[in-house]
Amino acid sequence: MLSEREDNFRGLAVKLFEIGAIKFGDFKMKVGVNSPVYLDLRVIVSFPDVMTTVVNLIDDIIKEHNIQYKHVCGVPYMALPVATLVAMKNKQPMLVRRKEPKSYGTKKIIEGKFNAGEKCLVIEDVTSSGSSILETTRDLRAEGLVVSDAIVMVEREQGAILNSKKNGMNLIPIFTLSHLLKLLQEAEKIDEKIVESVKKFINSCQIHDDGTLVDPSRNFVNELSRTTMSFEARSELAQAPLAKKLFNIMIIKQSNLCVAADLSKADHILNIADICGPYICILKTHCDIIEDFSENFIQSLQMLSKKHNFLIMEDRKFADIGNTVYLQYTQGLYKISKWADIVTVHALPGQSILQGLKTNLDQPEKRGVFLLAEMSSQGNLINEKYKEATIKLATDSNDSDFVAGIVCQTSDCFSFPGLIQLTPGVRIENSHDDLGQQYQSPEDVVKIKGADIGVVGRGIYEAKCIDKACILYRDRLWAAYCDRIESNH
């Protein structure tokens, strides 16, 4: 039988993964190298059950190691709420270290009542080199406090314990990164490839206490880069159920082709869907340009999607406040929520737009959105700040499990492997049209631009032989994906 404490460890590890506190992908570190894992424990403040478990485990460590202390100090900023709860639980006074001293008044850097010679316990969320703990420790010691113990939630095993010991500190983790990975693998949340990739990174990227690499000459290739991973591996990391389903369709059909049926007649769209259905993973529509839209059309389209195993994407590009998009999605002539597996969405209104779309859905796990982070039209007004905010909404919000992917044009737009990149503007012939649309080849869009799915419209539905054109685009897009994966292994 597992002990209660071991159960707490396992439960906490899984919960951290599920709330997005642990991410796998391609993340730039302060030292300048790219890490396959990112720990964002700031999100736990929104989960009281997680905070309670963390505080209880810290209390267990205090008792187990017989740590003696008069004060508790959290490393700013994430560890402050945890340190507050630890202090309250044990009825011990707390100290707050400012990151910068006040430029007025007493100009203190340590806030709180204390006497020189008293012991202070330091709390931190994540450590790599341990430099943040050591900075806090130096400021506390400069005020005459005795600091010899620190507890960290996750220790990344990149030098923090050794660096802390050299500076007279005993660093005790709730989790080491290896322990955390082991528990997640046992819970079948991640596979052996992810574990081994992170271990290689840990071994090759050790850091001094001044934040410099122990061996800067070592060359490390991040095996969890989104564009080098297979769809099979990435499916396991997808937060959105619909993303998992789409990955599975692509794998089974060996197709990463989306056909844009931007046509105004229902029969024409159904004809394209039936001809192209066996070769595509998504059929994209614009329902508001269909002149003879009807319930019969939708029923026929849904039958074809089941017959040929593809998803329906309504390229609605929602961009209004939550209540309005709820009505646009569920009501009116089109009742999009009833039939579209995926809808496209602008991030402009913020998280409320995702909440509005999810409102009152019977089975939200069967629906999903693609957020627009970049556009293919010449002279569009999307800038870097907007793009970054869109990616943050897709990965860090409470509604991340509703976001299946990103519509964008560049491979560096986002790093999370569980999201799918959809890139429009694919055409073998022509580089642009007369209305600002810019085209690119299947190979360029997948290998250079980083697309997982390429969107083809006129290149297929205006072709003399639609089925042959569809097969050609499917084969070239899939071959480009296979080459992308193979060239990195």
What value does the mean pLDDT take over residues 165-170? Answer: 96
Query: What does the pLDDT look like over 157-166, one tens digit per residue?
Result: 999 999 999 9
Closest C-alpha to 418, from 406, 436, 432, 430? 406
What tokens were used for 146? 């005795």
Instruction: Give the 3-state secondary structure percentages of the chain, helix then strand then coil, rounded to 5.
Output: 45, 20, 35
What value does the mean pLDDT take over residues 277-283? Answer: 98
pLDDT at 435: 52
Query: What does the pLDDT look like over 209-233, one tens digit per residue?
Result: 888 889 888 777 677 889 989 999 8
Separation in Å, CA 67 to CA 61, 152, 172: 8, 14, 11
CA angle 190, 192, 197 (to 5 degrees): 95
Query: What does the pLDDT look like over 375-385, one tens digit per residue?
Result: 877 788 999 99
Query: What does the pLDDT look like over 319-338, one tens digit per residue?
Result: 999 999 999 999 999 999 99
- Give the pLDDT band of residue 103 (cuts 50, 70, 90): low
DSSP 317-367: EE-S-HHHHHHHHHSTTT-GGGT-SEEEEESTT-HHHHHHHHTT-S-GGG-
Q: Please say if 317 is a catalytic residue.
A: yes
DSSP 8-state assignment for residue 282: E
DSSP 8-state assignment for residue 33: P
Spans of all domains in the chain: 4-224, 231-486
pLDDT at 4: 74
What value does the mean pLDDT take over residues 97-118? Answer: 81
pLDDT at 1: 39
CA 328 – CA 348 distance, rounded (Å): 16
- Give the pLDDT band of residue 72 (cuts 50, 70, 90): very high
Cα 186 to its chain centre, rounded Å, is 22
pLDDT at 83: 96
Do 393 and 350 contact (CB within 8 A), yes or no?
yes
CA 89 – CA 56 distance, rounded (Å): 9
pLDDT at 431: 57
Bridge partners of residue 207, in order along the sequence: 213
CA 12 – CA 180 distance, rounded (Å): 9
What tokens were used for 388? 């970054």
pLDDT at 68: 95
**Amino acid making up residue 223:** E
Cα 78 to its chain centre, rounded Å, is 20
Closest C-alpha to 123, from 167, 78, 64, 162? 78
Query: What does the pLDDT look like over 42-65, one tens digit per residue?
Result: 999 999 999 999 999 999 999 999
Counting beta carbons within 10 angstroms of the beta carbon of residue 199, is it exposed (0 to 12), middle (13 to 18) or buried (19 or more)?
Answer: middle
pLDDT at 27: 85
CA 398 – CA 180 distance, rounded (Å): 23
Query: What does the pLDDT look like over 413-461, one tens digit per residue?
Result: 998 999 999 999 999 876 555 555 567 999 999 999 999 999 999 999 9
Query: What does the pLDDT look like over 463-485, one tens digit per residue?
Result: 999 999 999 999 999 999 999 99
188 CB-near residues (< 8 Å, 6+ apart):
none
Q: Which fold has domain 4-224?
A: Rossmann fold (3.40.50)
* Three-class SS state of 87: helix
DSSP 155-183: E-SSSHHHHHHHTT-EEEEEEEHHHHHHH
Do 261 and 460 contact (CB within 8 A), yes or no?
no
Taking residue 318's Cβ as centre, other Cβ atoms within 10 Å add up to 23
CA 87 – CA 39 distance, rounded (Å): 24
What value does the mean pLDDT take over residues 108-119? Answer: 94
pLDDT at 437: 53
> Of all residues in the chain, what percent carry a pLDDT higher than 70?
96
For the chain, give the mean pLDDT: 92
CA 476 – CA 469 distance, rounded (Å): 11
What tokens were used for 455? 């969107």
The yes-or-no verdict on residue 364 having pLDDT over 70 is yes
CATH superfamily of the domain spanning 231-486 = Aldolase class I (3.20.20.70)
pLDDT at 101: 65
80 CB-near residues (< 8 Å, 6+ apart):
74, 96
Half-sphere exposure of 105 (CA within 13 A, CB side): 6
Closest C-alpha to 163, from 134, 204, 137? 134
pTM value? 0.83
Counting beta carbons within 10 angstroms of the beta carbon of residue 348, is it exposed (0 to 12), middle (13 to 18) or buried (19 or more)?
Answer: middle
Closest C-alpha to 451, from 420, 475, 425? 420
Bridge partners of residue 154, in order along the sequence: 126, 175
The yes-or-no verdict on residue 41 having pLDDT over 50 is yes
Q: Name the catalytic one among 15, 119, 317, 335.
A: 317
The yes-or-no verdict on residue 105 having pLDDT over 90 is no
pLDDT at 276: 98
> Of all residues in the chain, what percent carry a pLDDT higher than 90?
76
pLDDT at 489: 58
Could you check whether 4-224 and 231-486 share the same CATH topology?
Answer: no
